[in-house]
């Protein structure tokens, strides 16, 4: 519905994809983390019942994770792709559309796995688990770039470009934003981290580097969640 509304009232083309990417970067991580942690809390008795069966814990973990992350990813990708295809945007700007849809799917998997990890770490304290979920989302989605800018202005006399590149790689939302802006070649909207990233790597190498870091962000929470699940005493 949102994508269709943006296409009808936003002029279509690159403007709609940029608006969709902004909405994606803000809300997909939040929704994915909340659904991930809710799934752990609400299926507690079901998980404990399965654990007493002769089922390998790693198989159970992947089944639970894919059971929530796959529908979430499909909901975003299909929900955005169908209006884009109906209005012809996929044919006109297929590369950018595919990137936005792919990044939405990757962010869904990353933050659903983070929600899983938080649910397992705070299995007995739901309030603390939800609190950390909101704080992590606020920090990564809203406060992160502001804090980086504050550090840059505070220590502006020092060469901080390499530090800023490293810092930008520590935030998957920032990486996704940089990839979108590099694809659309809109340096004015990249923010400070994106501008430095573009200056050091350029568009093509920047996208490849950011994609590699997103792959690491995808693998690490999944692996850590699996380790916690295998060792946890339910």
CA within 13 Å, CB half, 102? 12
Residue 35: what pLDDT?
92
- Please give the pLDDT value at position 202: 62
DSSP letter string over 29-48?
A: HHHHHHHHHHHHHHTHHHHH
The reported pLDDT for the residue numbered 123 is 85
Q: Which residues of the chain have pLDDT under 70?
A: 1-16, 84-94, 156, 185-204, 206
For residue 163, what pLDDT is reported? 79
CB-based contacts of 80: which residues, under 8 Å, 6+ apart? 3, 20, 24, 100, 101, 104
- What pLDDT is stored for residue 135 in this prediction? 93
Q: What is the pLDDT of residue 137?
A: 92
pLDDT at 13: 59
According to the model, what pLDDT value does residue 88 have? 62
Number of H helices, E strands in the chain: 11, 0
Please tell me the pTM assigned to this model: 0.84
Rounded CA gap, 69 and 55, in Å? 21
């Amino acid at each position: 519905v949102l994508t269709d509304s943006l296409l009808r009232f936003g002029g279509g083309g690159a403007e709609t994809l940029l608006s969709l990417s902004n909405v994606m970067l803000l809300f997909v991580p939040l929704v994915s983390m909340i659904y991930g942690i809710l799934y752990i809390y609400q299926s507690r008795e079901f998980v404990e019942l399965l654990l007493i069966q002769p089922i390998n814990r790693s198989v159970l973990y992947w089944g639970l994770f894919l059971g929530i992350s796959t529908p979430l990813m499909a909901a975003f990708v299909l929900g955005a792709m169908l209006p884009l295809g109906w209005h012809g945007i996929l044919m006109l700007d297929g590369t950018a559309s595919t990137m936005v849809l792919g990044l939405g799917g990757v962010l869904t998997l990353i933050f659903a796995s983070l929600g899983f990890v938080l649910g397992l770490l705070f299995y007995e304290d739901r309030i603390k688990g939800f609190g950390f979920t909101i704080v992590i989302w606020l920090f990564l989605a809203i406060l992160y770039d502001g804090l980086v800018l504050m550090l840059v202005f505070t220590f502006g006399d020092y060469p901080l470009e390499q530090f800023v590149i490293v810092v930008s790689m520590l935030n998957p939302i920032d990486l996704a934003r940089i990839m979108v802006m590099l694809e659309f070649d809109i340096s004015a909207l990249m923010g400070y981290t994106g501008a430095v990233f573009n200056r050091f790597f350029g568009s093509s190498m920047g996208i490849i580097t950011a994609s590699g870091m997103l792959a690491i962000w995808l693998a690490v929470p999944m692996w850590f969640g699996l380790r916690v699940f295998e060792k946890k005493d339910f």
